[in-house]
């Protein structure tokens, strides 16, 4: 069977599995990776006063965090065959995407707002955005949830599928782990400004094409002319090269 067709079928099976089961409630690999990344950050991200030193430590932490899993994915690609390799790929894509979880988080916000329960809506949106949601108005909650749903649609679904189709399981693993590091370290604070820059820039690079394909898909499925106009006129106002589109 054609390799690309097999990859498409793997993605379809993973999406079906996600819709039926959602994310694993326990023993999710990304949770373990997050703990590993936190350990590395505590060990390497000291009180660095020299920007270059902090950046180099961040580069080292990124490589040490990501490469073991990528190498494992490459070894699996060489060692497994037939149904075992097919199942490994389905499991990998299923664990990387979070379509059902993303929908559930968004629905929790919209349901609370529809019921007029602003406090519950702010609590729900606080689970999916990094900003302080306590002071947000209902309109602010709706905006924050919409922005998070749109951007995470790229990060948590489209980009992972894109990199799997382009570079197989190793590409998928690389993207998902880099994206997780960006979510943990990609802040413009004194603690992470230089240490997290490598992960943040790598994430920007890996998401550049998928983010624009995602935005184009949203536009084609919605009010296309208005969506493209907003993309052209408003995306430049965002600091992130991908969040804007």
Query: What pLDDT, on a 0 to 100 scale, did the predictor assign at position 136?
Result: 87
Collapsed DSSP state (helix, strand, coil) of residue 238: coil
User: Which pLDDT tens digit goes with each residue over 2-33?
Assistant: 788 999 999 999 999 999 998 888 889 999 99
d(CA 148, CA 125): 9
Query: What pLDDT, on a 0 to 100 scale, did the predictor assign at position 38?
Result: 96
Q: Which one has a higher pLDDT value, 46 or 137? A: 137
CA atoms lying within 13 Å on the CB side of residue 25: 1
The whole-chain average pLDDT of the chain stands at: 92
Query: What pLDDT, on a 0 to 100 scale, did the predictor assign at position 150?
Result: 86
Helix (H) or strand (E) holding 49: none
d(CA 86, CA 69): 18
User: Which pLDDT tens digit goes with each residue over 156-169?
Assistant: 899 999 999 999 99
Query: What pLDDT, on a 0 to 100 scale, did the predictor assign at position 240?
Result: 84
Query: What pLDDT, on a 0 to 100 scale, did the predictor assign at position 4?
Result: 86
Please provide the size of the chain in residues: 245
- Where does the chain show beta strands of DSSP type E? none
Helix (H) or strand (E) holding 158: none
d(CA 116, CA 133): 16
User: Which pLDDT tens digit goes with each residue over 189-205?
Assistant: 888 999 999 999 999 99
Neighbours of 213 (CB within 10 A): 15
Mean pLDDT of 101-120: 92
Among 17-21, 131-135, 222-226, the least confident range: 131-135
Nearest alpha-carbon partner for 11 in 63, 3, 42? 3
Q: Is the pLDDT of residue 229 over 80?
A: yes
Mean pLDDT of 164-193: 94
Give alpha helix (H) positions in 80-154: 82-96, 99-114, 118-125, 138-153
pTM confidence score: 0.91
Q: Which one has a higher pLDDT value, 50 or 212? A: 212
Instruction: Indicate if the alpha-carbon torsion angle 167, 170, 172, 174 is positive or negative.
Output: negative
Nearest alpha-carbon partner for 23 in 98, 74, 123? 98
What are the b/e assignments for 79-118, b being 16+ CB within 10 Å? eeeeeebeebbbbbbbbbbbbbebeebbebbbebbeeeee
Percent of the chain clearing pLDDT 90 (strictly above):
71
Q: Which two tokens stand for residue 236?
A: 């430049």
pLDDT band at 131 (very low <50, low <70, confident <90, very high): confident
Mean pLDDT of 128-150: 85
Domain residue spans in the chain?
A: 3-210
d(CA 112, CA 27): 30
Inter-CA distances, 26 with 32, 42, 231, Å: 10, 24, 39
Mean pLDDT of 33-52: 86
Query: What pLDDT, on a 0 to 100 scale, did the predictor assign at position 49?
Result: 59
């Amino acid at each position: 069977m054609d390799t690309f067709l097999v990859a498409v079928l793997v993605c379809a099976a993973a999406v079906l599995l996600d819709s039926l089961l959602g994310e694993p409630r326990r023993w999710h690999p990304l949770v373990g990776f997050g703990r590993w990344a936190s350990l590395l950050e505590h060990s390497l991200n000291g009180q660095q006063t020299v920007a270059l030193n902090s950046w180099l430590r961040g580069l080292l932490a990124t490589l040490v965090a990501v490469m073991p899993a990528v190498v494992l994915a490459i070894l699996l690609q060489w060692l497994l065959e037939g149904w075992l390799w097919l199942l490994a790929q389905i499991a990998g894509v299923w664990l990387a995407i979070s379509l059902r979880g993303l929908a559930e988080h968004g629905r929790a916000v919209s349901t609370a707002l529809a019921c007029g329960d602003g406090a519950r809506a702010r609590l729900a949106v606080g689970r999916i955005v990094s900003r302080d949601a306590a002071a947000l108005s209902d309109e602010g909650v709706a905006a924050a949830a919409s922005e998070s749903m749109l951007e995470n649609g790229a990060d948590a679904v489209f980009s992972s599928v894109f990199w799997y189709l382009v570079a197989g399981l190793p590409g998928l693993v690389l993207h998902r782990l880099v994206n997780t590091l960006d979510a943990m370290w990609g802040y413009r604070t004194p603690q992470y400004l230089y240490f997290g820059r490598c992960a943040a820039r790598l994430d920007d690079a890996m998401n550049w094409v998928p983010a624009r394909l995602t935005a184009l898909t949203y536009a084609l499925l919605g009010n296309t002319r208005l969506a493209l106009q907003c993309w052209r006129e408003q995306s430049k106002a965002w600091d992130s090269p991908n969040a804007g589109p």
